[in-house]
Structure 1
Amino acid sequence: MKILLLGEFSGFFKNLKEGILELGYEINLVNPGDEYRNTVKTDLYIPSSRNYLIRNIEKLIFPFWKLKQYYNYDIVQLTGHNVFGGLKYNYNYLLIDKIKRNSNKMFMSSCGSDYFFYKKLKCLKYSALEEHIEIDLNGYNPYNQKKFMENNINVVNLVDGIIPTAYSYAEAYREHNRLLNTIQFPINVNKIAFTRQKIENNKIKIFHGITREGFKGTKYIKEAMLKIKEKYPNDVEILIDGKMPLNKYLKVLEETNVVIDQALSYSYGMNALYSMAMGKVVLSGNEPECQQEFGRTDIPIINILPSVDDIFKKLEKLVLDKKCVIEIGQKSRLFVEDFHHHIKVAQKYIDTWNLLR
C-alpha cells in the first residue's frame, strides 16, 4: 500500500507517518509549511515560498510541473479541505480533484475549523468560534464566505470518507453520509522522554502557550493564572509565552509541571498530547461528550470551562495538594502510551482505509 499524507496539523501527520512507517508501508508526507511547523519535513515539493510574488508563480506552474508526484497513491489522506490554500479560481479544489482522479482512495481528516465546524458548533453550549473570529481574525469570518463554503462542500463530496479526530470534529459532520469512526490523534511516545515530576522549591510551574488567543480562551486562562499567582506567590511560578517552533515548545515543557492548553474546547489536541507524554498535568477539554466519543472514562486531563473562576479553582486544588501533580503526571504518560500510541493509531487508519472498497 502506497500512502500520501497531504497537509499538516500541529505534528498530527508527522506522528501518523512515523507509526505507518513502523508498520512497514510506503508513505510520503507533504507539509505546506508555516512558521510554527517548520520542524516537520516535507517529502515532496509544494509551493511554500514566503515571498508573495514567488509563491504565486510557484502556484501557477505547480500543476504542470510537480503535481504528478502526488499521483498513483493507494491512499491520499488530507488534513482538511484547504490543503493548497488557494480558493481563487477554485485552485485548491481543482488540484485535489486532479489528485483524486489519479489515485485510488482519498480521505479527509476533520481536525480543524471549517464551514461544517462553524455551522454546527455555534449551536453548542460553548465553542471557540465566536472568540476565534473576534480576536484571532479581527472580526472577519471566513467560514461563511461563499468561496470558502463552496470549496469545503466540494472537497467533502469528493472524498471517500471523513475521519474526525475528536468529539467536536465528529459532531461537525455527524449528519454527513461519508462520516467514518473517530480516530484519536497519534503521538510517538518513543521520541518523547518521560520525567517524573519534580516540584522545585515547593513551587508548581504553570505554563500556557499563546497561539490563537481567541480559539484557546487565553483571556480566561491568563486571568486565572495571574489570580493564582497573586494568592499563592510562594507556591506558584507562571509562564505565558508566545508562538514558538515545536522544538522550543518541548524545551519549555521539560521545566513545567502544569500545562493549560485550552478552555473553549470539549476535547483536547496535539499540544495536550505532547505535554501528557512528558508526564505533565494538563488542563484542557475533557467533557463527558469527549469521553463518550473515545469510549474512555479514564482520560487524566482536568476539564476546564471558559471561566476564570473554574480554571482558578482547579489550579488551586493542585496547589493545595502537590502530590496529586506527581500522580496525574504519571497517569498522563501511561494513558498516552495506551490510547494515543502512534503505531496503534496508525493501525486504526490502515484498518479504516481498507474497510472502504
Structure 2
Amino acid sequence: MKILLVGEYSRLHNSLKEGLVALGHQVVLVGSGDNFKNYAVDYSIRTSWTTRYWLPRKLKNAIYRFTGLDLEMTERAFRFYFLLPQLKGFDHIQLINSDALETHPFCSRSLYRKLFAQNPNCTPSLLICGDETPVNDYLLQDKLKYSVLTPYLKDHSLRSQFEYSLKYTYPNYRKLFNWVAAHCKTMIVSDLDYKIPMEAMDYPVTFIPNPINSETIPCCPNDNMTPIVIFLGINRLSYTKKGISYFEKALAIISEKYSTQVDIIVTENVPYDIYIHSYNKAHIVLDQIYGFDQGYNALEAMAKGKVVFTGAETEFTEHYNLKERVAVNAIPNVASLVSELAFLIENPAEIRAIGIRARDFIEKEHAYKTIAKRYLDSWKSVD
C-alpha cells in the first residue's frame, strides 16, 4: 500500500511509518514538526516567512491584534496547498487530528476536500491521540476522577492556558470535526484517555496502542544508582494541563530530604532529540499527572527501562491485566508523589525491577510492527 500520514505531535506517526515500512509499504509523512519539538517529516508545512524574519513577525502580530487573523495558520495552509500536486496516488490517508494541518478550520476542510478528491481510491481514517471535539466535550462534563482539563474545571481563571484545548468546542472546530468524521471511514484511538471519552460520547472507535520501535531504543539497565537521577522535562505550553507544578513541589521536598542521594535534571521547551538525550542517564522520569494511560514520551522512556511517573490508573492495569507495576501512577497529590519517590530512593532494587517490567511491557503491548499490522487490519476492514 501507498500510505499518507498527515500531522505529527508526538512521534507516533513516525513510529507507525517505521512499522509500515518494515512490513513493505510505502509511507509519506506530512506535518509541521510541532513547533520547537521539530519532529521529522517527509514534507514540511512548518512556518518560515511569518516566524523567521523580524518584519513579517511584527506584521503578523499587528494583524492578529487588530483582526484576530493568525498569519502562521494561513502560511501553513498555503504550504500544504502547494504540496497537493505531490500528494496523489495513495491507497490510504490518515489524519492525526481533525486539525492535523494546524490552519484555519475552513481552510482545513477545503484542503482535505482537495486531498481526498485527488486520491479517489483511498480510505481516510482519523487518529485520535490528543485534544479532539468529542473528547473535550466529555471531559468538560467532569465525570472522570480527573483529566487534563481538571485544572480549568477547578479554576476558570486559567482559561487562557487551556485555549488550545477549548478551541475544539468552538463552532468552527466542531464543524471541522464533524466534516472529518463524516469523511473518514474509521476512527482510531491511541490510549485509554481517548477511548473512554469517545465511547462515552457514543462514537465507534478502534483502540490501537501507540507503536514503539524498541529496536532503535536501547534498554539502559538501572545499575549504577549513586546518585539516583530524576528527570523532569517541562513543556511550558502544556505545563498546567500536565500537572507539572505537582512534580516541582515534590522535587523540592525530595532534593532537600535526599540531597546526597539524588541528582535532579530539569529541561524546558527543548527539541525532541535533545529531550531524549537529556533523560538517557535518568533512572526516574517524571512525565505527567491527570492521565489514565501513558502517552508517547512516557512509553519511549519505559522502553529504555526507566521508572516513569505517568498515567497508570486502575483502568490501565485492568485493561492489560497487569499484576505488577510497569510505571508509577502519578496523581495530583504532592504527598503521594513524595512518598512514591522516597520509596524508590530507599529501595533501588525496585527501580531495577520496574524498569525491567516496563521494557517487557513495551515489547509485548507496543511492538511497532505488530501495531502497524493492527492499523492495516483496521483500515482494510472498512474497504
Same fold (TM over 0.5): yes
Q: CA deviation at 1:60?
A: 3.9
Counting only pairs closer than 5 Å after superposition, residues 311-330 of structure 1 correspond to structure 2 as 311-330=337-356
Correspondence for 2:68: none
CA-CA distance at 1:136 after TM superposition = 8.7
Distance in 2 (alpha carbons) for counterparts of 1:110 and 1:35: 20
Residue number among 186, 194, 216 corresponding to 1:169 in the alignment: 194
Residue of structure 1 in register with 2:37 after alignment: 37
What SS is found at the alignment partner of 2:15?
Answer: helix
Which structure 1 residue ranges, 5 or more long, are not aligned?
none
Give the Cα–Cα distance (whole angstroms) in 2 for the partners of residues 172 and 148 of structure 1: 18
CA distance in 2, matches of 1:62, 1:143: 21
> 2:285, 2:337 → 1: CA distance?
12
Match of 1:121 among 127, 135, 139: 139
Give the Cα–Cα distance (whole angstroms) in 2 for the partners of residues 241 and 288 of structure 1: 30
Give the corresponding residue for 2:182: 157
Assess if the C-alpha contact under 8 Å between 1:136 and 1:215 holds in 2: no
Question: For residues 259 and 338 of structure 1, what CA distance do their matches in structure 2 show?
Answer: 21
Partner-residue secondary structure (3-state), 1:237: strand
Task: Please give the alpha-carbon distance, in whole angstroms, between the structure 2 residues aligned to 1:136 and 1:223.
Answer: 23
Q: Does 1:339 align with 2:359?
A: no
Counterpart residue number, 2:111: 95
Structure 2 CA distance, aligned partners of 1:136 and 1:69?
A: 40
Offset from partner CA, 1:48-97 (integer Å, 9 cap, x none) = 3252568646634753x431322331111111000112225x10122112
Q: Does 1:143 align with 2:168?
A: yes
2:90 aligns with one of 63, 73, 98:
73
CA distance in 2, matches of 1:144, 1:259: 33
Q: CA deviation at 1:144?
A: 2.9
* 1:165-244 mapped onto 2 (5 Å cutoff): 165-175=190-200, 179-201=204-226, 203-211=227-235, 212-244=238-270
**Residue deviations 1:168-191 (CA, integer Å, cap 9, x gap):** 111222156653321111111111
Aligned residues: 353
Deviations 1:227-276 (A, max 9, x none): 11222222222222201112211211211010011111111111111211
SS in 1 for 2:259: coil
How big is the alpha-carbon RMSD for the aligned residues of Structure 1 and Structure 2? 2.3
Cα 1:155–1:334, aligned 2, differ >3 Å: closer, same or farther?
same
Give the stretch that moved more between structures: 92-101 or 251-260: 92-101
Give 5+ residue unaligned stretches, structure 2: 57-70
Residues in 1 aligned to 2:288 and 2:22: alpha-carbon distance in whole angstroms: 32
SS at match of 1:138: helix
User: Is 1:305 the counterpart of 2:321 in the alignment?
Assistant: no
Q: Structure 1 residues 17, 84: CA separation in 2 closer, same or farther (over 3 Å shift)?
A: same
Q: Residue 147 of structure 1 aligns to which amino acid in structure 2?
A: N
Q: 2:4 and 2:28 mapped to 1: Cα distance?
A: 5
SS at match of 1:259: strand
Query: CA offsets, 1:292-312, max 9 Å, x none?
Result: 445555560111211111111
Letter in 1 for 2:111: L
Asked whether the equivalents of residues 47 and 62 of structure 1 are also in contact (C-alpha less than 8 Å), the reply is no
CA offsets, 1:140-197, max 9 Å, x none? 4323322122212221222111100011111222156653321111111111111211
Matched, 1:107 2:122: no
Deviates more, 1:30-39 or 1:321-330: 30-39
Counterpart amino acid of 2:148? A
User: TM-score, with normalisation over the residues of structure 2?
Assistant: 0.85
Aligned equivalents of 2:112, 2:340: Cα separation in 1: 45
Percent of aligned pairs with the same amino acid: 27
Which residue number in structure 1 is paired with residue 59 of structure 2? none
Farther off after superposition, 103-112 or 138-147? 138-147
Larger CA deviation: 299-308 vs 145-154? 145-154
* Cα 1:319–1:160 shift into 2, 3 Å: same
Equivalent residue letter for 1:301: A
How does the TM-score come out when normalised to structure 1? 0.91
Q: Which moved more, 1:19-28 or 1:326-335?
A: 326-335
1:291–1:83 distance in 2 versus 1, CA, 3 Å: same
Contact 2:5 2:94 in 1 (8 A): yes
